[in-house]
Amino acid sequence: MAFEYPDNLQYTDTHEYLKIDGDIVTIGITEFAIDQLGDVVFLELPELGDNVETGEKFGTIESVKAVEDLKSPVDGEVLERNDQLLDAPEQIADDPYGDGWLIRVKADDLDSIDDDTMTAEEYSEQVEGL
């Protein structure tokens, strides 16, 4: 199955993606991650105003196959969370790069992001080997 990885996003080795708009970072999970998980049945996300730290857990995603930690690719404060997905977590698979976003964070430091992320091409090459 061919997965889509939009070029305007950055990707982590834990299968989160980032969309950077000024100092606001939208975080979600990739099509590859959703495919590996299977049917998503539960989602836990942080509260508004919570702080997230790079590499640290900010929530969990549960499927019929597994429970996985969601890892933050950035330090910052949670400005928004996608409450629609809390009520209907299976919808994350419908549009992971659009309506399936998880949280929006006001980033403390954007400079550190590039060091830890991959381009769409780099991410695609990494997951093809899995």
Catalogue all structural domains in the chain, each as residue range(s) with its CATH number. 10-124 (2.40.50.100)
Tell me the pLDDT of the chain averaged across its residues: 94
- The 10s digit of each residue's pLDDT in 105-124 is 999 988 878 778 999 999 99
Please give the average per-residue pLDDT across 21-26, as a whole number.
96
- The 10s digit of each residue's pLDDT in 67-103 is 999 999 999 999 999 999 999 999 999 999 999 999 9
pTM score of the predicted model: 0.95
Q: Rg of the Cα trace of the chain?
A: 14
Which band of pLDDT confidence, cut at 50, 70 and 90, is reported for residue 36? very high
